[in-house]
């Protein structure tokens, strides 16, 4: 397997990598043959440019996603995807390449040690805290939503880097030296104290790793995701199953498990590929190679797979002699649609929310809370509200900034900002906007307190429209 070294942009690169020529819709460089064109050139410039995204590694081109084709372009540290018809800035989305890279390395980020909830910059959604060495870089950079290029809101930083998925820990860098490293959904931060700010924080070349990764990956141990307990009895021919047939939460790790037996003997060295058919997209996983027992495992993350939608996975085996075999399996998520229980004891003497946020409000508890006023909208054209409350030390926090991301079917939507009042509550109105019937829309809420500390909470809604007559 070809392995790319994780290189980083140092000061020298910044000095020599200036665009060789520039036009309103094209940016080119002497170092690479491909230019940044079309809408991607504007997005690249407005949202961090070379230090954040790096050089282009491919031309923009069409790739099929589900039943539709989108224009995409790969960069050293990102993958851009253009969604025609969506309003700016949401017409360009970034891939979740930090998580993808960890999964490709066989590292289950959901089992990483968690942070103390009282730690600065703690993020409840993943249980991790952004390290002090990285907080400045994280909070200074972000996508551009509000037209204020002098500062970044929590939602803008979140959209660029995602939530932290690890604690800061020592890991080897491209030069073999150990550096303080922290992984995020869409990035890998590395601390280089030998460099002067702002070059003391460097980003890994995850886009390069994803784009130019080898076509084969080492087999993963079957015990990691429990293939053996869920395995069918051995039978002649190809077989496929999933480790978890009914995932209980979005973002769960899973695995496609396979076995090939021909003539009563396990086949070693067969290449295995899988294609999963989600409700809104089709994803390819693998390849992997069968071992001496004829088995291979391909790990994947279900991300935002639709609740109770059967995801069919087609599996193709290519034997050492070139003969192909096929099998199929599936899984069906079963998420709870109930609001999570309170995270602590109910606090006394907290004023009840007023206005629309009085509806559906949970009992007040320490920390961040989020809810929607209409959890099951009945009209695709109606408006709903996201409500957030922040209580710290038993006292409502006024003046906190609130932003939200809704993971809608086919695209994400960003709402806010709003500011908490004396009761610690903020309301963000939003349109249901034809959200897909009976599809659960999860909403992550980011709250930035006046002291700069970040908090997070999650809520959801699920449309339930009357059936057409």
Q: Are residues 293 and 384 in the same domain?
A: no
Q: For residues 381 and 432, is the Cβ–Cβ distance under 8 A?
A: yes
Q: Provide the pLDDT for residue 463.
A: 85
Question: Do 35 and 182 have their domain in common?
Answer: yes
Q: Which helix (H) or strand (E) holds 368?
A: strand 367-372
Residue that terminates a domain, selected from 277, 298, 331 = 331
pLDDT at 268: 93
Q: Judge whether 278 and 309 are in contact, CB under 8 Å.
A: yes
Are 247 and 374 in the same domain? no
Alpha helices in 177-220 (DSSP H): 206-212
Q: How far apart are CA 394 and CA 397, in angstroms?
A: 9
Q: Quote the pLDDT of residue 224.
A: 37
Q: Distance (Å, rounded) from C-alpha 317 to C-alpha 305?
A: 25
Amino acid 311: pLDDT: 85
Give the pLDDT score at 458.
83
- Closest by Cα among 116, 115, 69, 71 to 92: 71
Whether residue 338 lies inside any domain: the answer is no
Residues 204 and 229 in one domain: no
Q: String of b and e for 345-359 (b: at least 16 CB within 10 Å)?
A: eeeeebeebeebbee
Among residues 212, 240, 262, the one where a domain terminates is 212
pLDDT the model gives residue 2? 32
Tell me: do 446 and 409 sit in the same domain. yes
Residue 20: the pLDDT is 42
DSSP string spanning 364-396? Answer: P-SEEEEEES-SS-S-TT-EEEEEEEEEETTEE
Instruction: Calculate the CA 71 to chain-centre distance.
Output: 20
pLDDT at residue 442 in the model? 79
Cα–Cα distance for residue pair 81/207, rounded to 1 Å = 13
Domain endpoint, select from 331, 346, 380: 331
53 and 151 housed in the same domain: yes
In a domain, 339, yes or no: no
Same domain, yes or no: 175 and 59: yes
Q: What is residue 114's predicted lDDT score, i.e. its pLDDT?
A: 95
Helix ranges restricted to H, 187-343:
206-212
Model confidence over 312-368: pLDDT tens digits? Answer: 899 999 999 999 999 988 888 877 654 445 557 889 899 999 999 999 999 999 999
First to last CA, the chain: 57
Burial of 463 (0-12, 13-18, 19+ CB in 10 A): buried
Q: Are residues 206 and 310 in the same domain?
A: no
CA distance 374 to 371: 9
Residues of the chain with pLDDT under 70: 1-25, 63-70, 212-226, 228-229, 280, 308, 336-343, 409-411, 467-469
Please tell me the distance from the alpha carbon of residue 318 to that of residue 289, in angstroms, as a whole number.
9
Distances (CA, A) of 461 to 67, 357, 388: 26, 15, 15
pLDDT for the residue numbered 309: 73
Tell me: do 319 and 388 sit in the same domain.
Answer: no
Q: Give the chain's domain count.
A: 3
Distance from C-alpha of 22 to C-alpha of 36, rounded to nearest angstrom: 10
Is 52 in the same domain as 161? Answer: yes
Domain check: are 324 and 414 in the same one? no
Residue 228, domain CATH = 2.60.40.10
In this structure, what is the dihedral angle of CA atoms 50, 52, 57, 62, given to the nearest 10 degrees?
-120
pTM for the model: 0.43
């Amino acid at each position: 397997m070809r392995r790319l070294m994780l290189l980083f942009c140092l000061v020298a690169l910044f000095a020599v990598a200036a665009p060789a020529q520039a036009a309103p819709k094209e940016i080119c460089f002497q170092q690479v043959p491909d230019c940044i064109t079309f809408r991607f050139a504007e997005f690249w410039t407005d949202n961090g440019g070379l230090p954040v995204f790096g050089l282009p590694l491919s031309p923009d081109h069409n790739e099929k996603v589900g039943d539709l084709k989108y224009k995409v372009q790969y960069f050293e540290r990102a993958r851009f995807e253009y969604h025609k018809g969506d309003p700016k800035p949401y017409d360009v989305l970034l891939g979740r390449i930090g998580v993808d890279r960890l999964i490709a390395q066989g590292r289950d980020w959901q089992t990483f040690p968690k942070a103390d909830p009282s730690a600065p910059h703690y993020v409840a959604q993943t249980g991790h805290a952004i390290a002090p060495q990285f907080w400045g870089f994280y909070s200074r950079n972000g996508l551009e939503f509000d037209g204020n290029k002098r500062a970044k809101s929590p939602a803008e930083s979140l959209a660029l880097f995602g939530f932290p998925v690890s604690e800061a820990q020592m890991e080897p860098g491209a030069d073999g030296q150990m550096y303080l490293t922290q992984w995020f959904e869409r990035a890998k931060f590395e601390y280089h104290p030998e460099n002067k700010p702002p070059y003391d924080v460097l980003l890994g070349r995850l886009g390069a790793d994803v784009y130019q990764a080898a076509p084969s990956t080492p087999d993963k141990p079957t015990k990691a995701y429990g293939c053996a307990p869920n395995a069918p009895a051995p039978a002649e021919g190809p077989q496929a199953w999933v480790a978890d047939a009914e995932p209980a939460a979005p973002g769960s790790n899973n695995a496609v498990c396979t076995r090939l037996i021909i003539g009563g003997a396990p086949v070693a060295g067969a290449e295995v590929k899988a294609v999963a058919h989600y409700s809104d997209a089709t994803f390819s996983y693998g390849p992997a190679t069968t071992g001496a027992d004829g088995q291979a495992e391909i790990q994947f993350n279900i991300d935002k797979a639709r609740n109770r939608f059967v995801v069919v996975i087609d599996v193709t085996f290519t034997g050492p002699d070139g003969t192909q075999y096929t099998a199929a399996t599936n899984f069906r998520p079963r998420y709870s649609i109930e609001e999570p229980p309170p995270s602590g004891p109910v606090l006394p003497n907290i004023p009840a929310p007023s206005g629309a946020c009085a509806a559906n409000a949970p009992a007040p508890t320490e920390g961040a809370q989020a809810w929607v006023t209409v959890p099951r909208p009945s009209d695709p054209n109606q408006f709903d509200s996201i409500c957030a409350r922040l209580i710290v030390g038993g006292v409502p926090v006024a003046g906190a900034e609130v932003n939200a991301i809704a993971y809608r079917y086919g695209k994400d939507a960003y709402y806010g900002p709003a500011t908490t009042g004396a009761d610690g509550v903020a309301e963000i109105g939003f349109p249901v906007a034809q959200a897909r019937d009976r599809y659960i829309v999860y909403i992550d809420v980011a709250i930035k307190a006046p002291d700069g500390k970040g908090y997070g909470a999650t809520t959801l809604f699920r449309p339930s429209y009357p059936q057409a007559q």
